[in-house]
């Protein structure tokens, strides 16, 4: 079982990102679950979203998890949300920030010793999509770090997932995914 926790703000697209990832993974024959908790929170409120992936049907519906991956798609949540909650030694963090990993750890000491990767999904989204929607670039970074799928396969499937959007927006998302894939470190 692969378990992922997203830290996001309502409106940044974590739910869409989690569901998009689930959709792509499902096409490869795996079982998926994507869910989120935001109550009646309004745009900008801190929230979490979750993915589970397994080879057999996923029956566990508890919110609790020891995540394998933690995605942080809003830079400030590193300081205000409990992003290391219930982690384990092998938990991998992919964090949206303009800081280097060293600078990030210096500013948030509880990340010391964690498996940590950084990428500026906000900047990438602004420069490609034209809005600070950092969800799809995070998935590009995840493909690089996890080696889950070939990036071309992933982009091809994400084009289908994003199918209802205008082509211009889809193209921009593909650029954002590729840039995050290339720039995450």
Give me the residues that bind another protein (CB under 8 A), please: 15, 18-19, 22-23, 26, 31-37, 39-40, 58-64
Q: Quick one: 37 or 79, whose CB is closer to another protein?
A: 37
What are the tokens at 169? 């927006």
Least separation in angstroms between residue 39's CB and another protein is 6
Q: Quick one: 49 or 104, whose CB is closer to another protein?
A: 49
Least separation in angstroms between residue 38's CB and another protein is 9
Q: Which of 43, 122, 50, 135 is nearest to 86 (CA)?
A: 50
CA distance 181 to 81: 25
Least separation in angstroms between residue 124's CB and another protein is 25
Q: Quick one: 15 or 111, whose CB is closer to another protein?
A: 15
Least separation in angstroms between residue 18's CB and another protein is 8
CA distance 13 to 33: 17
* Residues 102 and 111: beta-carbon distance below 8 Å: no
Least separation in angstroms between residue 69's CB and another protein is 18
Q: Quick one: 87 or 120, whose CB is closer to another protein?
A: 87
Q: Quick one: 16 or 108, whose CB is closer to another protein?
A: 16
What are the tokens at 183? 């720039």
The b-or-e profile of 169-181 (16+ CB within 10 A means b, else e) is bbebbbbbbbbbb
């Amino acid at each position: 079982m692969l378990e992922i926790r997203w830290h996001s703000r309502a409106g940044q697209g974590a739910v869409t990102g989690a569901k998009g990832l689930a959709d792509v993974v499902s096409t490869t024959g795996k079982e998926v679950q994507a869910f989120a908790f935001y109550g009646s929170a309004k745009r900008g409120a801190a929230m979490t979203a979750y993915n589970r992936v397994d080879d057999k049907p996923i029956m566990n519906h508890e919110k609790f998890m020891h995540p394998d991956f933690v995605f942080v798609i809003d830079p400030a949540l590193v300081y205000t949300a409990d992003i290391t909650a219930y982690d384990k030694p092998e938990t991998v963090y992919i964090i949206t920030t303009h800081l280097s990993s060293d600078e990030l750890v210096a500013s948030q000491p509880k990340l010391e010793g964690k498996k940590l990767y950084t990428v500026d999904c906000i900047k990438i989204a602004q420069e490609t999509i034209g809005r600070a929607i950092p969800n799809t670039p995070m998935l590009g970074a995840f493909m690089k770090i996890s080696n889950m799928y070939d990036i071309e396969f992933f982009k091809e499937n994400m084009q289908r997932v994003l199918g209802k959007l205008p082509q211009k927006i889809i193209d921009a998302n593909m650029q954002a995914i590729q840039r995050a894939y290339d720039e995450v470190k």
